[in-house]
Structure 1
Amino acid sequence: MPFKLIEDETGEALTSYSGLPLVLETCEALGLTRLVKQHVHIKQRQRGYSESVYVQSVMALIAVGGDCLEDIERLRSDAGLKLLLGEMPSAEAVRFFLYGFHDEKLLEGRPEEGAFIARETQPLAGLWEVHREVVLKGSRKEEPKQATIDQDATVVESHKEQSRMTYLGERGYQPVINYWAEQDLILSDEFRDGNVPAGMDCLTSFLRATRALPQSVETIYFRSDSAAYQHKLLDVMRDGIEFHGKQIPVYFAISADVSEVLRGKIVSLSESAWKPLRRLTEKGLIEGRKQWAEVEFIPSAASMKKDMKPDRYLAIRVRPWQTELFSDGNSYHYYAVVTNRWEMEGEELLRWQRERCGSVEKVHDVVKNDLAGGVMPCGRFYANAAWWRLNCLCYNVISIMKRKALPESFWPVRMKALRFHLIGVAGKVVSHARMMFLKITEGLIGYRQARSQLVEFSSA
């Protein structure tokens, strides 16, 4: 290429991340500094950086695409950011901040083999209170009447010696999140060892998520895979839950375990009972290899209440592509969904339940791969839990920023596009008449308007 490199000796305050301040201004609009000061207490000394500076520095690191602590040195060396945001802590300082979330004593009951859900340390629980209030602030203006909660676990691979073996045969962790589909917000997360089954104590995880919902919610919908096929959870949902002094209904659609008894019921259905389970495409509804049918089934689980209205079971069968049989010798594979929603047509309900794959599973992908949740910073369990929670918090802050400050065309974009068009755009910081200015490209997606909308949002 026809150019030569020379060092910049002008001393100008340039930045490669002129859009990053908008992320941190969203934090301020949400009251993050106040919330962290109120709920997260780690420091043993009064000097040094505050907890809120650490939290927002980690958020900045994640937002620009850093996935390990050492990447923060790239931000610390950015002259423009230093003027705009102030000094950031070093990678080593952030590491010790994360260590402050750890308490080995709470892991003393952790068995060498077998599942164990660790109780959260006080700083980690405080960080969830910050997370909860961010969700409440982010959704308050709309006063939503319903909330669809998608619950799912995901494996985060880690080769640290302290991590446990997952069902995939690799070491790591298996956190659970509860995702609010309508608002694109993570309601809650629970960091777990890799050997903890996804179906362990789904009820506690669900109830915690409901604590992050605003009082305006009148109906809750719940979707999950078969990990949540737990009759203790279903019993609570059938009765509805106590929510801010009122009883509200919970409607669920959960993939069911196909037991031998249930499979027998499905196989015995007549051919006329089966209907096509069509895929929704740009060209409309397309028939494929799947069919569905209603099936009468009452589990024999001890938790089933005597006079309880039976749940609705929907069966799905899938035929092979071209071969006569699957490799296991069966002509069909069978699946089932259990629900207490009787008003929806079966095919529509199954498509609605399946939508969770494009919501919560997409969120896991974003947190682990677009953000930094897929790379654990150390071997200390609670430090990693704090790192995961900070990634979930960053997801929410960016989601709120897109919806409250950016044009509607940016609401669905992934981090790659957001960094390309906003966060990672170059700028220059100049001072004049005792004021600081950030010089950016004129057409940078309405930066000035975005800032004014955040001011309006913060005062709402």
Structure 2
Amino acid sequence: MAQGVLPFQYKEQVQTSGLTALAGLPAYLELAHIAGLRDAIRRHLHVRSDSRQGWCDEQIVMALILLNLVGGESVADLEQLEADEGLCRLLRQIEYHGLPRKERRLLERRRKKAGRTVPSASPVFRYLAAFHDPQEETRRIPGSAFIPAPNECLRALGRVNQEMVAFVQNRNVQREATLDMDATLVSSDKTQALWCYDGYRAYQPLNVYWFEQDLVVHSEFRDGNVPAGYQQLRLLQETLEHLPDGVDKVMLRSDTAGYQQDLLRYCAEGSNERFGAIEFAIGANVSQSFRQAVGEVEEGNWLPIRRTDPDGRQYDTGQQWAEVCYVPSWAGMSKNGPGYRYLATRKRLHNQLELLGCETVADPEQMQAPSGERYKIYGIVTNRDIDGNELIQWYRERCGKSEEVHAVMKDDLAGGKLPSGDFGENAAWWGIMILALNLNAAMKRLVLPPSFRCKRLKAVRFGLINLAGQVRERSRQLHILISPKQPALGLLLHIRERIIDLARGAPEVVVGS
């Protein structure tokens, strides 16, 4: 009997053949191996290390990292990995590689008892529960911003990410670190999630992204009602402690959430012992006094904002910028204190007909020029002494890249679908997603050809990870058979050669010296 309209049928494979739909995924496992990711998990995380039964830390965390890389969104999606017989065969052999006999036998006994290669949902949920601290929940005050203190498990997860960042820096040394601080909203239908400023239940992690390395150095999971600017100085200080050796200079970019007096002073006054003064460009609030200062700018002092296209040619964006003579009271308290430079940008608003019977809502960021044109006004505060047009272009790089990273976190990886109503469990899920994000960034920066540098993860999956293959064993050696017509076969061979170079400690690439 025909199954459908077209001439094909689905049938169950009777014999195990070692087929896999993820033949490119082992390349990530190999990179994770030389990066010491599994070892770092074993050293820092001790949630399951004392138990001689069940799944250990590295098995669960690595399974969730792989789940992120292949596009899984929930704990239940681990069943898709378990169903991939060829991948499971590889995972078992890779996991035992290089282990002493005693540890290998312990893992084998654990696997035989579980009867699986990949953990199921139940032990993973029990594992994530160890990252939640119910005692911290009792400290909440209704209606106020509160950030639960991370327990030792969450802090250990941060140390694992710190080692991952250090590995990339060791192989591709960057002397400068441009840090982009930005929060992102993650919607949630859990009743424990709090309401965000956009009017829905959400969480709002605050992330610090290292522009030169394409890595997230630090991330703090937060409730949706916590303002993005809340305790940003503390998060910056923690990030500076996490930066690996080799970084000599730090610069900071943030939107208006970073317009905090303590943060600006800390950067401008050189309070950090390691890095001294930190150059920054941060969005400034358009207050009444700032509007007044902008209104005093002569029309002839407004200059066009230009950008440079990929061919090196400049073009006019239709926007303008000007230096603003503006000194807020907090910045002018000391004659010997650092200087703060304020810039304003404006964009002309096209005339819009008001609807009959509708009242116009006053917008504090809109101003009318003497010519009668109306403009949208934005402010920037900085301590950098460079051309204003160059500064604005540098500042706006934050918007394009950090917003893209947030989209990858929530759309390409599993950060957009949180598994629990417990804060700590969601924080651990988010932290493991960051490990997967940085592992993929390391793959693109250190291993893949330059043409992959700007590709999103879904494009990498299509061209590298989601490949059909067959896993066979011959003379105690595993072989992954790929069709000779598959163009990614040459890419996989290139990847393995590059990973061998990294494992041997290939010459460091020093940038920005």
Range class of TM-score, shorter chain: over 0.9
Stretch deviating more after TM superposition (151-160 or 17-26): 17-26
Displacement after TM superposition at 1:269 (Å): 1.0
Displacement after TM superposition at 1:441 (Å): 3.1
- Alignment partner, residue 259 of structure 1: 287
1:291 to 310, 320, 325: 320
- Letter in structure 2 aligned against 1:63: L
Matched, 1:139 2:145: no
- Shift in alpha-carbon separation, 1:241–1:76, aligned structure 2, 3 A: farther
After TM superposition, the score normalised by the length of structure 1 is 0.95
Residues 150 and 181, structure 1, Cα contact 8 Å, conserved in 2: yes
Count of residue correspondences: 457
- Alignment partner, residue 103 of structure 1: 133
Q: Residues 321-400 of structure 1 correspond to what in structure 2 (within 5 A)?
A: 321-323=350-352, 328=362, 330=367, 331-342=374-385, 344-400=386-442
Residues 250 and 275, structure 2, Cα contact 8 Å, conserved in 1: no
After TM superposition, the score normalised by the length of structure 2 is 0.86
Displacement after TM superposition at 1:193 (Å): 0.5
- Alignment partner, residue 308 of structure 1: 337
Displacement after TM superposition at 1:306 (Å): 4.2
* Structure 2 CA distance for aligned equivalents of residues 133 and 347 of structure 1: 37
- Alignment partner, residue 56 of structure 2: 50
Displacement after TM superposition at 1:277 (Å): 1.5
* Structure 2 CA distance for aligned equivalents of residues 111 and 270 of structure 1: 49
- Alignment partner, residue 509 of structure 2: none
- Alignment partner, residue 218 of structure 1: 248
Residues 12 and 428, structure 1, Cα contact 8 Å, conserved in 2: yes
- Alignment partner, residue 401 of structure 1: 443
Displacement after TM superposition at 1:131 (Å): 0.4
- Shift in alpha-carbon separation, 1:166–1:367, aligned structure 2, 3 A: same
- After superposition, give the CA deviation of every residue in 1:414-443 in whole Å (9 maximum; x if it has no partner): 111111111111110011122211111344
Q: Could you say what secondary structure the match of 1:28 adopts?
A: helix
Q: Could you say what secondary structure the match of 1:428 adopts?
A: strand
Stretch deviating more after TM superposition (33-42 or 220-229): 33-42
- Alignment partner, residue 65 of structure 1: 71
* Structure 2 CA distance for aligned equivalents of residues 186 and 238 of structure 1: 24
- Alignment partner, residue 457 of structure 1: 502
- After superposition, give the CA deviation of every residue in 1:343-394 in whole Å (9 maximum; x if it has no partner): x110111111011011111111100111010000011101100111111111
Q: Could you say what secondary structure the match of 1:277 adopts?
A: strand
* Structure 2 CA distance for aligned equivalents of residues 337 and 389 of structure 1: 32
* Structure 2 CA distance for aligned equivalents of residues 82 and 223 of structure 1: 43
- Letter in structure 2 aligned against 1:18: A
Residues 420 and 426, structure 2, Cα contact 8 Å, conserved in 1: yes
1:41 to 33, 46, 60: 46
Displacement after TM superposition at 1:31 (Å): 0.6
- Letter in structure 1 aligned against 2:281: A
- Alignment partner, residue 80 of structure 1: 86
Q: Could you say what secondary structure the match of 1:361 adopts?
A: helix
Residues 269 and 337, structure 2, Cα contact 8 Å, conserved in 1: no
* Structure 1 CA distance for aligned equivalents of residues 259 and 332 of structure 2: 12
- Shift in alpha-carbon separation, 1:288–1:145, aligned structure 2, 3 A: closer
Displacement after TM superposition at 1:412 (Å): 1.5
1:273 to 301, 307, 324: 301
Displacement after TM superposition at 1:256 (Å): 0.4
Displacement after TM superposition at 1:189 (Å): 0.1
CA-based RMSD of the aligned residues comes to 1.9
Displacement after TM superposition at 1:28 (Å): 1.1
Displacement after TM superposition at 1:328 (Å): 3.9
- Letter in structure 1 aligned against 2:79: E
* Structure 2 CA distance for aligned equivalents of residues 319 and 145 of structure 1: 39
Rg: which structure is higher?
2
Stretch deviating more after TM superposition (303-312 or 37-46): 303-312
- Letter in structure 1 aligned against 2:495: A
Q: List alignment gaps of at least 5 residues for structure 1.
A: none
Residues 331 and 340, structure 2, Cα contact 8 Å, conserved in 1: no
* Structure 1 CA distance for aligned equivalents of residues 400 and 427 of structure 2: 25
- Shift in alpha-carbon separation, 1:248–1:216, aligned structure 2, 3 A: farther
* Structure 1 CA distance for aligned equivalents of residues 472 and 454 of structure 2: 33
* Structure 2 CA distance for aligned equivalents of residues 46 and 385 of structure 1: 26
- Shift in alpha-carbon separation, 1:247–1:411, aligned structure 2, 3 A: closer
Displacement after TM superposition at 1:208 (Å): 1.5
2:482 to 418, 434, 440: 440
Q: Residues 110-189 of structure 1 correspond to what in structure 2 (within 5 A)?
A: 110-189=140-219
Displacement after TM superposition at 1:159 (Å): 1.2
Q: List alignment gaps of at least 5 residues for structure 2.
A: 1-5, 93-116, 355-359, 368-373, 506-513
- Alignment partner, residue 89 of structure 1: 119
Residues 268 and 338, structure 2, Cα contact 8 Å, conserved in 1: no
2:229 to 199, 214, 226: 199
Residues 232 and 303, structure 1, Cα contact 8 Å, conserved in 2: no
- Shift in alpha-carbon separation, 1:266–1:405, aligned structure 2, 3 A: same
2:239 to 191, 194, 209: 209
